Chain A
Amino acid sequence: MAVPQAGKLGHPLMNLVRFKGLPILKQLHLEERLLRTSSDNWCIINDGTNQPTIVMGVSGKPAELLEIESVLCDQIPVIRRFTGGGTVLVDPGTVFVSFICNKDTVPGLQPYPRPIMSWSGQLYNKVFQGIGDFNLRENDYVFGNRKFGGNAQSITKTRWIHHTSFLWDYEVKTMAYLKLPARAPEYRLARSHLEFICRMKDYMPRSTFIDKTEEAIDTHFSLRSRESEDIETLPNIQFSPSTRPLTKRELEAAALASPSEGAFSHSSSL
């Protein structure tokens, strides 16, 4: 049976699925599958992922972005995702919100990176109204000049995804796995990770953020809550995700090939 594409007052239908502690690899595989094989609009909210994981963008190079020796020693999983953008370290303190839409879903929105980013900023403006000097700065969500939300997108011929990892909380020691990226927004001004980011928990309770986000989404769309099991019953179209974990061998090879990881190459040969 075809699912109607419009609900209340002609607002486009948005299927909302909530998870808690879903592994980030499973979340990304699900998102990629919905982007490529579904013709419906989806919003995925994952309240924390189950373990600390490093997630690089599609063109991420481990030797440039990660302290590989520490990552390998502490056995932190590393994933390369299907969307663009930078590297994040996610864990149970991260809240994920993803929008997967047909290109004509939002009236007047051109399916290009900057318009989609701007649209998302306006949506979250409703969530953070009057809180902490919220802004969309370059491509990050910030309070003042401190980043708390990182964005990435993938755009196909007929659909797009815009997904965000929100730093509700994080552990200081895990930030040490990430190098200072060569490509960074101008407003970062060469600040270290800890000087650049901030915790959402200092501004808003976690459940309030999720509730207000759903309210904001409800002003744009006709929200229809779906159970996670519903996604399992979607037509099983043959699909191979491009998001994948990097192997230990790949990380070791990246470290050996990198001049800056020279200390590691010596220790690995012992």
Chain B
Amino acid sequence: MALRTWASSTANAFRISHASKSHPFPAFCLSRCFSTVLDGLKYASSHEWVKHEGAVATIGITDHAQDHLGEVVFVELPEAGGSISQGGSFGAVESVKATSDVNSPISGEIVEVNTKLTESPGLINSKPYEDGWMIKVKPSNTSELEAMMGPKEYTKFCEEEDASH
């Protein structure tokens, strides 16, 4: 029982939704807490997502991550033009009393940074897969993307991670 009191969330369930620009996922609330996992994205075990479109990959943190972190009040982002390595930290979010590193699942050149997050860090909580994106990268090694988890695999990963704590 003592271990359960350390868990940050009550019973969690996951729902896979189809990403679309106009209706990313239904905005309704159930008695259980749902973390959304979007179809069409790739996922890292450190809870970042990647959307690969053409030559650019967009990166953010997942709904599961933002839910566990709490209200985001500050976001630290890199400058565009720099490079990142797979697994390396590119920034941080502040929530509750903590700064938490955000790690890049892929290597590449940072081509754009979401400057809206400076004034509106809460976008990471309210729209983690849309307006809450963090950086855009030109990947230097596409095999890193292929090795990432798909939605079903990530959903199972999160369920197992939550169950083991």
Contacts and interface: CB of A to CB of B under 8 A. Distances in A.
A153 B98 contact: yes
Nearest to A106: B6
A157 B96 contact: no
B23 interface: no
Interface in B71-113: 73-74, 76, 87, 89, 92, 94-101, 103
A154 B99 CA distance: 5
B94 A157 contact: no
Interface string A40-59: 00000000000000000111
B41 interface: no
A1 to B, nearest CB: 28
Contact of A113 (B7, B92, B98): B98
Contacts of B70: 113-114
A152 interface: yes
Contact of B6 (A59, A109, A157): A109
Given A57-B94, A58-B74, A108-B165, A155 B100 contact: yes
Given A58-B76, A110-B165, A156-B101, A118 B95 contact: no
Contact of A139 (B46, B97, B101, B161): B97
Contacts, number: 91
A114 B8 contact: yes
What does DSSP make chain A's interface, helix, strand, loop or mixed? loop
A132 B9 CA distance: 29
Interface string B144-165: 0000000000000000011011
A85 interface: yes
A173 interface: no
Nearest to B95: A113
B116 to A, nearest CB: 16
A154 B92 CA distance: 10
Nearest to B88: A157
Given A108-B3, A115-B8, A118-B6, A83 B165 contact: no
B5 interface: yes
A156 B89 contact: yes
Contacts of B96: 84, 113-114, 117, 139, 153
Contacts of A155: 98-101
A58 B94 contact: yes
B19 interface: no
Given A157-B87, A183-B73, A110 B6 contact: yes
Contacts of B8: 110, 112-115, 118
Nearest to B121: A59
A107 interface: yes
Given A58-B76, A110-B68, A157-B46, A119 B98 contact: no
A82 interface: yes
Q: Count chain A CB atoms within 10 A of each CB in B3, B46, B162 and give the residue with the most.
A: B3
B69 interface: yes
Q: Count chain A CB atoms within 10 A of each CB in B7, B74, B98 and give the residue with the most.
A: B98
Given A112-B68, A115-B6, A118-B6, 7 more contacts: A84-B74, A85-B98, A113-B69, A117-B97, A122-B5, A154-B99, A157-B46
25 contacts: A58-B92, A58-B99, A83-B98, A85-B97, A108-B6, A108-B165, A109-B6, A109-B165, A110-B7, A110-B162, A110-B165, A113-B8, A114-B8, A114-B70, A115-B8, A116-B98, A117-B96, A117-B97, A119-B6, A139-B97, A153-B96, A153-B99, A154-B100, A156-B101, A157-B103
Interface of B: 2-3, 5-8, 46, 68-70, 73-74, 76, 87, 89, 92, 94-101, 103, 161-162, 164-165
For the complex of A and B, 7 pairs with smallest distance between CB atoms = A59-B74, A85-B97, A153-B98, A108-B3, A113-B98, A113-B96, A114-B8
